[in-house]
Chain A
Amino acid sequence: MSITRRGLGIGLMGASAAATAGYVYLRDTPWLQAPAALGGFIGGEKKAFLANPRTVAALAHAGFAVDGRQAGSVEMVRAPELLSQNPDFLWPSSSVMVEIARQSKLPLRRAQVILNSPIVVYSWSNVVAGLATAGLVARSPAGYATIDLLAFLKAVLADASWASIGVEALFGKARIAATDPNLSNSGFMFAGLVANLLSGDVATPDSLDKVGGAVETLFRRMGYKSHSSGSQFEDYLAGGPGAYPMSVGYESQLLEWIIADPARWSRVGRSASRPVILYPVPTVYSAHPLLTLKPAADGLVDALMSVPLQTIAWAEHGFRGPLGAPGAGAHPEVAAMVPEHLDAIAPMPEAAVMLALLERLAA
């Protein structure tokens, strides 16, 4: 396409007008000033999101330079050695932590869920095929897989063999692995989900009396439990179906892994056993509420809720928005494999119930 002289002139004029307007607009916006440095604690699964150069730039544009140090969700709202470091904000991985923070008498200013990721069970295509024949796994019309987690847990509790639940490829007893609930949030959330499922409703102090023993048995039968959701996911991928037939994690983990190296995902897609996300029905959301403790951090809530940052969170790291909806611009492979809406979401048991449960599950 050729550009006429007249067209060029108009173009230049337009550009100059835009530049003037832009300056008038920008001199009042924060990014011409030095960004405000904020320090706080974050769950490890959000480290990559905060380290992403596009996230850093978008936050700087909103006027913030964020230093997020990794800490466990439970410890960051309770541990004196962390709180004495005077954080500006806390960004744990479960909304139960807001309640626990209030009980810890933290000076909360704003508490807003920024991101969400459902708790899922990671399995493998060859294992899933077997579970489907036993009716434990179903494919939704949209193509994603759901698991009847209660039925599976009952099979584990009953010492059922893999063969008896359709998985001929694996020898021995059915099992599932989660992280240590006292140290890591995905294990913590899974403990809440298990207590809910066995109680038949959101677990209460009364129902915990009845089902607590079974939850303990399930966690004891996991054997060694990882201390971090991140290492658990890597062990799952490294160990394969023989070592990690069923592993609890966040939906965002596989999505982030796929987006990080789509070519690798295509290679994996051709192998005999591929990672599969199983959505428990119902499941619980690992919400990521930002808790501000200092006035300077209040604006960080709005910045993280902005469209550019929400888009990076979904398109590059697999985190859903505050209401659980996937964002725009995902990798096509990812868009095809995740449900648009999760209809069956159970609330986590209240903080007192979770703390009592943690005590029971302490090794």
Chain B
Amino acid sequence: MRRSVLGLAVLLAGTLSLGACDNAATFDFTIVSGSENEILEPVVMAFCAAQKVACHMSYLGSLDIGLGLRPGQEATVDAVWPASSIWIEMFDSGRKVTHLQSISQNPVVLGVRKSKAQSLGWTAGPVTTAEILKAVDGGTLRFLMTSATQSNSGASAYLAMLAAAHGKAVLEAGDLDDAATLDQVARLLHGVERSSGSSGWLAQLYRDGTRKGAVYDAMWNYEAVIKETNDALRRDGHEPLWAVYPAEGVAVADSPLGFVARGRGQEVEDFFIALQAYLLSPEAQAQIAATGRRIALGRAAQAPPEPDWNFDPGRLATAVRMPEPAVIRKALTLYQEALRRPSLTALCLDFSGSMAGEGESALRQAVSFLFSPERAAEVLVQWSPKDRIFVLPFDNEVEAVWRGTGSGDDQARLLGQVLTMSAGGGTDMYGCVRQATALMVPFLARDDFLPAIVIMTDGRSDGDPAGFLQARAADNGRIPIFGITFGDADRSQLETLAGATGARVFDGTKDLTGAFRSARGYN
């Protein structure tokens, strides 16, 4: 019955579009989605164009999509398409989202460089979490994984690790107090070589790394994203990632598409219903299956197996059952405050003359957010006492070096110190990066930390990035240099540094606090 109602809606939408005699769009329709769905944008857009609706797809991490659904938040989109319905369950307590339906099923797997997988003996049969832990403990395996608190693929991998470590089908709140479980998961997370707030960006990092010879061992990501990566790797003549499905079970993301009612009338809701019906039609499902996504029974055939990297969407993968939302919340806080690999972060803050006035005040606000534990905790980017932080205000030279841990006292002190600064002088960000690097190198020897330098600047810096990168000692190459732009900042200098070090640049011109927050998701 539901099918025929949807069929009717498609027909209706079709009739509406036939009625429109010019090419002008009848209305706008905005969708916010997880980055892994970027590959499906053409499928969505083709339908929108046929219906003469101007669709806009934007991409956010699962946490951000969830935060936008909290009670009291004004709805700014017409549809949400996060990686997993758990993020809607956790945040949409007012039940704003309706017509929620899974579009595809996506196990989160560990893709291991094939030669690495072979040397570990993992291409011969099932691999257990205990074996993964052994490889991490022995220093033979490092992986890329998105931040569990910012992105669904990281959260999924992390929750599956917890469940496997505890040997239970489903995590319960009490399990998160078990010291042995926590120890095992912290050791597994020690394998994180790079993190990020986006699954799509992480895959890009892997591909770029391979191209540049900075070869990573492995990456936790959606089975379909591993396929997308392998397709690209093959085109470039590189070895693929071997898909490891931890035998204890994999977390499966259900990619739900839901409607957000915000009083735009029946026409908009009818369009959504038609769009969803289209995406679930055999024709669209076949296109979606071709990207390596698993398709529900009877909708379309799965993508053909690719045995050279252990891919077979028709094969049964035991799924880890998602815990109750309250348990997930507790687990995520635990990740951020205790279990993740600690951050080693240097903040290079531009206090040059051009920052006077508005820039200075925006920077103070952003730093206040960053060093206010309760505010940072709301969006799960709080520091932990294990973190090591350097703050370096600079103009044409570094004005001060303040250091601390992520403890509450240290954060308060660092904030107080930043608030004493006032803008003046020229701009040389390279000097700051050089000094930050020198401060960080001794810590890197211990291999305990996930390092990052974050430069916030509003202008054109003296010096040039190419010369700077050349002079940079080879052993410092593993510290990524992130950029946050403000005002009329010269983005190209920051882009060059970020591109060369596997980092990215965040736009702080509209929302400096938001940009700092995003950057934290990568460290």
* Cα(A177)–Cα(B321), bound, Å: 9
Given contacts A172-B169, A239-B252, contact A234 B102 (CB under 8 A): yes
A161 to chain B, nearest CB (A): 9
Q: Contact check: which of B100, B102, B172, B316 meets A242 at CB < 8 Å? A: B316
Are B254 and A238 interface neighbours, CB within 8 A? yes
B44-71 contacts to A, CB under 8 A, are none
Q: CB of A268 within 8 A of chain B?
A: yes
Q: CB of B186 within 8 A of chain A?
A: no
Q: Which residues of B contact A363 (CB under 8 A)?
A: 324, 326
Are A171 and B247 interface neighbours, CB within 8 A? yes
Are A222 and B170 interface neighbours, CB within 8 A? yes
Given contacts A223-B170, A223-B324, A363-B326, contact A238 B296 (CB under 8 A): yes
Q: Which residues of B contact A173 (CB under 8 A)?
A: 168-169
Are A223 and B3 interface neighbours, CB within 8 A? no
Are B170 and A171 interface neighbours, CB within 8 A? no
Q: Which residues of A contact B407 (CB under 8 A)?
A: none
Are B249 and A169 interface neighbours, CB within 8 A? no
Q: Which residues of B contact A238 (CB under 8 A)?
A: 102, 105, 254, 296-297
B299-322 contacts to A, CB under 8 A, are 314, 316-319, 321-322
* Cα(A280)–Cα(B323), bound, Å: 26
Are A169 and B2 interface neighbours, CB within 8 A? no
B503 to chain A, nearest CB (A): 35
Q: Contact check: which of B2, B172, B254 meets A48 at CB < 8 Å? A: B2
Are A170 and B318 interface neighbours, CB within 8 A? yes
* Cα(A225)–Cα(B168), bound, Å: 17
CB closest residue in chain B, given A156: B169
Are B318 and A242 interface neighbours, CB within 8 A? yes
Q: CB of A343 within 8 A of chain B?
A: no
**Which of A14-22, A136-144, A202-210, A256-264 participates in binding chain B?**
A256-264
- The total of chain A residues at the interface (CB under 8 A) is 44
Q: How many A-B pairs with Cβ below 8 Å?
A: 104
A251-271 contacts to B, CB under 8 A, are 256, 260-261, 264-265, 267-268, 271
Given contacts A242-B318, A243-B105, contact A171 B248 (CB under 8 A): yes
A293 to chain B, nearest CB (A): 26
Are A231 and B326 interface neighbours, CB within 8 A? no
Are A172 and B322 interface neighbours, CB within 8 A? no
Q: Which residues of A contact B316 (CB under 8 A)?
A: 126, 169-170, 240-242, 273
Q: CB of A288 within 8 A of chain B?
A: no
Are A268 and B169 interface neighbours, CB within 8 A? no
Are B318 and A239 interface neighbours, CB within 8 A? no
A81 to chain B, nearest CB (A): 14
Are A261 and B249 interface neighbours, CB within 8 A? no
Q: CB of B1 within 8 A of chain A?
A: yes
Are B169 and A239 interface neighbours, CB within 8 A? no
The 6 closest A-B pairs by CB, nearest first: A48-B1, A223-B170, A238-B296, A243-B319, A173-B169, A264-B298
Are A272 and B318 interface neighbours, CB within 8 A? no
Q: Contact check: which of B297, B321, B327 meets A268 at CB < 8 Å? A: B297
Q: Contact check: which of A171, A220, A239, A268 meets B172 at CB < 8 Å? A: A220
Residues of A within 8 A of B (CB): 48-49, 51-52, 126, 159, 169-175, 177, 220-225, 231, 234-235, 237-243, 256, 260-261, 264-265, 267-268, 271-273, 275, 316-317, 363
Q: Which residues of A contact B260 (CB under 8 A)?
A: none
Q: Which residues of B contact A268 (CB under 8 A)?
A: 297-298
12 A-B pairs besides A221-B172, A237-B298, A317-B1 with CB distance below 8 A are: A171-B249, A172-B169, A175-B170, A223-B171, A223-B321, A224-B321, A239-B252, A240-B316, A242-B252, A243-B321, A260-B1, A265-B298
Q: Which residues of A contact B248 (CB under 8 A)?
A: 171-172
Q: Could you jot down 23 A-B contacts, CB within 8 Å?
A: A126-B316, A169-B316, A170-B316, A171-B247, A175-B170, A221-B172, A223-B323, A224-B322, A224-B324, A231-B100, A234-B101, A234-B102, A237-B296, A237-B298, A238-B105, A239-B102, A242-B252, A242-B319, A243-B252, A243-B319, A260-B3, A317-B1, A363-B326
* Cα(A60)–Cα(B343), bound, Å: 68
Given contacts A51-B1, A51-B5, A220-B172, contact A240 B105 (CB under 8 A): yes
Are B322 and A223 interface neighbours, CB within 8 A? yes
* Cα(A261)–Cα(B282), bound, Å: 13
Given contacts A222-B321, A242-B317, contact A261 B3 (CB under 8 A): yes
* Cα(A126)–Cα(B297), bound, Å: 14
A58 to chain B, nearest CB (A): 15
Q: Which residues of A contact B318 (CB under 8 A)?
A: 170-172, 242
A258 to chain B, nearest CB (A): 10
A15 to chain B, nearest CB (A): 34
Q: Which residues of A contact B323 (CB under 8 A)?
A: 223-224
Given contacts A223-B321, A223-B323, A231-B100, contact A239 B254 (CB under 8 A): yes
A151 to chain B, nearest CB (A): 18
Question: Which of A234, A243, A363 has the most B CB atoms < 10 Å from its CB?
Answer: A243
Q: Contact check: which of A48, A175, A177, A237 meets B297 at CB < 8 Å? A: A237
CB closest residue in chain A, given B280: A238
Q: Which residues of B contact A256 (CB under 8 A)?
A: 1
B131-171 contacts to A, CB under 8 A, are 168-171
Q: CB of B89 within 8 A of chain A?
A: yes
* Cα(A222)–Cα(B172), bound, Å: 10
Q: Contact check: which of B254, B298, B325, B326 meets A235 at CB < 8 Å? A: B254
* Cα(A267)–Cα(B314), bound, Å: 15
B367 to chain A, nearest CB (A): 38
B491 to chain A, nearest CB (A): 42
Q: Which residues of A contact B249 (CB under 8 A)?
A: 171-172
Given contacts A221-B170, A235-B254, contact A267 B298 (CB under 8 A): yes
* Cα(A321)–Cα(B457), bound, Å: 73
Q: CB of B86 within 8 A of chain A?
A: yes
Q: Which residues of A contact B314 (CB under 8 A)?
A: 272
Are B297 and A275 interface neighbours, CB within 8 A? yes
Are B105 and A260 interface neighbours, CB within 8 A? no
* Cα(A300)–Cα(B278), bound, Å: 37
A123 to chain B, nearest CB (A): 13
Q: Contact check: which of B3, B4, B169, B247 meets A221 at CB < 8 Å? A: B169
Are B86 and A224 interface neighbours, CB within 8 A? yes
B96-151 contacts to A, CB under 8 A, are 100-102, 105
